[in-house]
Amino acid sequence: MVYGLAGTGKTLLAIKMIYTLVHANKIKEDSSETTIGYSDEEMAIHELNDFIKKNKNLKIGFVLPMTSLRSTIHSVFRQAGNELKNVSVIGPYDAARENYDLLFVDECHRLTQNNCGQAQGKFIKMCNSLNIDTKKSTQLDWMIMTSKYQILFYDPDQRIKESDITNKQFLETTKIAKEEWYKLSSQIRCHAGDRYSEELNNLFECKDRFDKFKKCIGNYDLKMFDDVDEMVKSIKKLDKKMCLCRNVAGYS
């Protein structure tokens, strides 16, 4: 299980792992019969090649719950012109309809439970086809049932809807011990680095005071509004000056 905050490269790592796996037979390996003296990288390549030899013609799926990202990755894989085109880039429902040797499941926090509004009927129908409890099961159960191995990418802080799987459900379903979590800690999306995103999370989770956070961010013009109309007016005023200002709405 790979854990990392937003911007730490979970999706990039998943793609890199898939690329390495499907091209493993093209990686040159030392022909010696012993692995004594191998570096960590050489040992990883050796074990990967050994796994491929024992599991030929692996059926691999890359599950992406978010439709827009899934469409983009699907297009990239098809145009890559290499073994990536043989990897199924799919959604949770697609994954549940077939059996896979290995599933890479990105954004596990966006998998759903039986609380998904208009899609509830579709969710119940899929659970019934898998012969599992419609009330207690989640899409994560589907992934585990329909694949031999799973590599999960997860961040509980990016859960944005009531229908998204809860952290408790995730932990109970996977039963993954903390020692088996691989944590990504380097921020690659935001130049301000790890501290900025951590402080921002602390602010919105009410762990820090606003005045304390404001001291940490240097020259950013950060304001807290208690009137939405005033906020919108302020942003529109700035937009006339900068032409780059927008209102962004999240989970409500």
Ranked by mean pLDDT, which of 42-56, 69-83, 182-196 comes out on top? 69-83
pTM score: 0.79
Residue among 169, 182, 151 nearest 113 (CA): 169
My answer on whether 170 and 75 are in the same domain is: yes
Per-residue tokens: 169: 């459900």
**215 and 231 within one domain:** no
Question: Quick one: 104 and 15 in the same domain?
Answer: yes
Q: Which of the four pLDDT bands, split at 50, 70 and 90, describes residue 189?
A: confident
- H or E element: which one contains 241? helix 228-242
Categorize the per-residue pLDDT at 6 as very low, low, confident or very high, splitting at 50, 70 and 90.
Answer: confident
If asked whether residues 129 and 95 sit together in one domain, one would say yes
The rounded mean pLDDT for the chain is 84
Q: Note the pLDDT of residue 201.
A: 77
Please tell me what DSSP assigns to residue 165.
P
Do 233 and 152 lie in a common domain? no
Which helix (H) or strand (E) is 236 found in, with range?
Answer: helix 228-242
The predicted pLDDT at position 102 comes to 93
202: exposed, middle or buried (Cβ count in 10 Å: 0-12, 13-18, 19+): middle
Could you give phi then psi for residue 142, rounded to 5 degrees? -60, -45
Radius of gyration of the chain (CA): 22
Residue 62's pLDDT band, with cuts at 50, 70 and 90, is very high
Domain count, the chain: 3
DSSP string, 41-70: HHHHHHHHHHHHHHS-S--EEEE-SSHHHH
Cα dist from 93 to 13, 77, 142, 145, whole Å: 23, 20, 8, 13
* Rounded distance between C-alpha atoms, residue 47 and residue 60, angstroms: 18
The CA distance from 80 to 85, in Å, is: 7
Q: Are residues 17 and 97 in the same domain?
A: yes
Residues 78, 94, single domain; the answer is yes
Render pLDDT for 126-143 as a digit per residue (tens, 0 to 9): 999 999 999 899 999 999
Find the domain containing 198 and state its range.
Answer: 191-220
240 and 153 co-located in one domain: no
Residues 227, 247, single domain; the answer is: yes
Tell me, what DSSP letter sits at residue 157? G
175 pLDDT tier (thresholds 50, 70, 90): confident
Looking at the fold, whether 96 and 6 belong to one and the same domain comes out as yes
pLDDT at residue 216 in the model = 66
- Determine contact, residues 109/164, Cβ cutoff 8 Å: yes
Report the C-alpha gap between 39 and 196 in whole angstroms: 35
User: What band does 208 get if pLDDT is binned at 50, 70 and 90?
Assistant: low
Q: Check whether residue 106 and residue 49 sit in a common domain.
A: yes
Residues 129 and 238 grouped into a single domain: no
Average pLDDT for 81-97? 91
Q: Provide the token pair at 162.
A: 């009531």
158: domain CATH number? Answer: 3.40.50
